[in-house]
Chains A and B, each alone.
Chain A
Amino acid sequence: MRTPASRKSTLLIAVLLIAGCTPGPPDAAGTPARPPAAPPPTAAPQNTAPQNTAPPMGTAGPFSPTDIAWLQLTVAQIERLLPVLDLVPTRTTDPAWRRVAAQVEVGRRDDLDRSRRLLAESGAPATNPHEGHDMPGMVTAEELAALRSATGKPFHRLVARHLRAHLAQSVRISTAEQKGGVHPATTALAGAVVRVGTADLARLDRLDPPATTLPAARQAVP
């Protein structure tokens, strides 16, 4: 049986041990005063480079983060435009509008297929989960609902507005991809989108001259 004195000496030894072992701040009770500065279990970060994540390799060369973001955004933009174009033959009998919608649709479906193939080649996800609920140049669910209940001139005006916003945004980001992208087939596709999109915008302007938008809008007010 241990005496109180031996208990005390045990306590003293314990105090000395604790004092000797923890010269740091007395705050880290129960844990070492200096938690291991040891980094994470694995090796050094893979991308210590200040640039974006290491580019996935495709068969035709590396894709940059800009290439991938442009491809994902292009897919999302076209997917949101197609329901608008699909409405045109059902909501108007005007041959000029039906012709423009059909022309744009053929070209954009081709761009969509090529973008999806390039994305698959890059190994990146097919969709960008952050493209957003509301994005410039993209038709919202509410706007699509409004289109579905419009006919005649109001319908033409709405289609013109959405098509113009889509094409302008598409040309804007494709110009940036053409300059800032890396993957040759992807920047080439961006160049084609800029050329065709610019021509489509000019065709749209002939069909729906921007200057007439104001009087048309005034007429719409009862």
Chain B
Amino acid sequence: MDRAAPLPGIHRRLRAAMAIGALLTLLGTYIVSTTTRADAAPGPNVIRVAEFPADCTFSHRLPDDPIIFPGLPGASHMHSFFGSTVTNAHTTLPDLQRSTSTCNPRVDVSSYWTPTLYKDNVPVEPAIVTFYYLGEGVRSDVVARTEPLPLGLRLVAGNAKAAGPDESIARWSCLHAGQVPPSKNFVTCPAGTMLESYLDFPQCWNGRDLDSPDHKSHLAYPVNQACPSTHPVPVPKLRQVLRYPVNGNPAGFRLASGPGYTMHGDFFNAWPVEEMARRIRDCIRPVIKCGADGRPI
């Protein structure tokens, strides 16, 4: 930076005073922010990924679906339920709010369900189940204004009646075997690894509806890293990750809904409003990786 002619004395004294003032101001701001907002201020070691998880082990199986076939027990193919322990064909939001949960954190009494995986006609439940809530897939200024997923939201992702891989957003891969290319259908995982399924839910809400006739179109996927005008409200992207304790030749594998590309996920949001809001404020908007407790890792 260019330094012009020597400063007159008055300017020199003013400059010193201002520098000290500025330092004090910065110090004061720092103390205030680290004492009153210690919970939210990113420490030096935070991981700059907008994320918080819910780890929800398997709860139960039923041929029910309270979103697609409400009130009709037995109407569906077999589903494996995670999270709330009470979900059946008749489940409503108050039922979930009164229920216990298999999730870490326990406060997440949401219900998550997927078609059951069968190996040689025997059900196989995933050993590791994580539902990630992510601020990604949109521009950083959009992430910074992420809103919580609304209480009572019902949402389906994936295509249960996909007739082929082209009609699917499913993704199958192998845990600890990154060399196996991911596929929309089952993959052959090496011995000692686990078959895994990834499914991303849409993250742009229309701001109005908790459900829609097709149980999908009240949300939309982002377009060009932003939420489209029809679905202007950015919410966290829910990413369902299931790790199944199976590997090898997938010839004997099938989902209750059909081949691997029919993988889908249903989500019925029952997070306590303040717990979801805290995680949006402390993890998603500031881009901080949080643990199941919603605190920076």
Contact = CB atoms under 8 A, between A and B. Distances in A.
Interface in B227-247: 232-233
Contact of A66 (B28, B70, B257): B70
Nearest to B41: A25
A3 interface: yes
| Residues of B contacting A: mostly | loop
A65 B67 CA distance: 9
Contacts of B156: 130
Contacts of B211: 47, 52-53
Interface string A59-99: 00000111011100100000000000000000000000000
B68 A15 contact: no
Nearest to A16: B25
Contacts of A39: 147, 207, 233
B205 A40 contact: yes
Interface residues of A, number: 58
A135 B79 CA distance: 11
Given A124-B213, A136-B77, A41 B207 contact: yes
Interface string B210-228: 1111111000000000000
A136 to B, nearest CB: 6
Interface stretch (A26-34, A158-166, A197-205): A26-34
B262 A132 contact: yes
Interface in A3-18: 3-5, 8-9, 11-12, 15-16
B256 interface: yes
A149 interface: no
B214 to A, nearest CB: 5
A130 B160 contact: yes
A219 interface: no
A133 B75 contact: no
B193 interface: no
B212 A53 contact: yes
Interface residues of B, number: 75
Contact of B18 (A8, A125, A180): A8
A169 B154 CA distance: 26
Nearest to A19: B29
Nearest to B19: A8
A129 B233 CA distance: 25
Given A41-B232, A132-B262, A65 B71 contact: yes
Given A64-B71, A66-B70, A180-B72, A42 B41 contact: no
B37 A132 contact: no
A98 to B, nearest CB: 31
Nearest to B89: A176
Interface string A179-220: 011000000000000000000000000000000000000000
A128 interface: yes
Contacts of B33: 23-26
Given A69-B69, A176-B74, A47 B209 contact: yes
A177 interface: yes
B22 A12 contact: yes
Contact of B41 (A27, A31, A41): A27
Contact of B208 (A5, A46, A132): A46
B210 A45 contact: yes
A45 B257 contact: no
Nearest to A140: B258
A66 B71 contact: yes
A11 B22 contact: yes
Interface in B1-57: 3-4, 7, 11, 14-15, 18-19, 21-22, 25-26, 28-29, 32-33, 37, 40-42
B26 A19 contact: yes
Given A11-B22, A134-B258, A31 B141 contact: yes
Nearest to B156: A130
A152 interface: no
6 contacts: A15-B26, A39-B207, A40-B233, A52-B154, A130-B156, A176-B75
What 5 A-B pairs are tightest by C-beta distance, nearest first? A40-B207, A133-B258, A66-B71, A50-B93, A27-B286
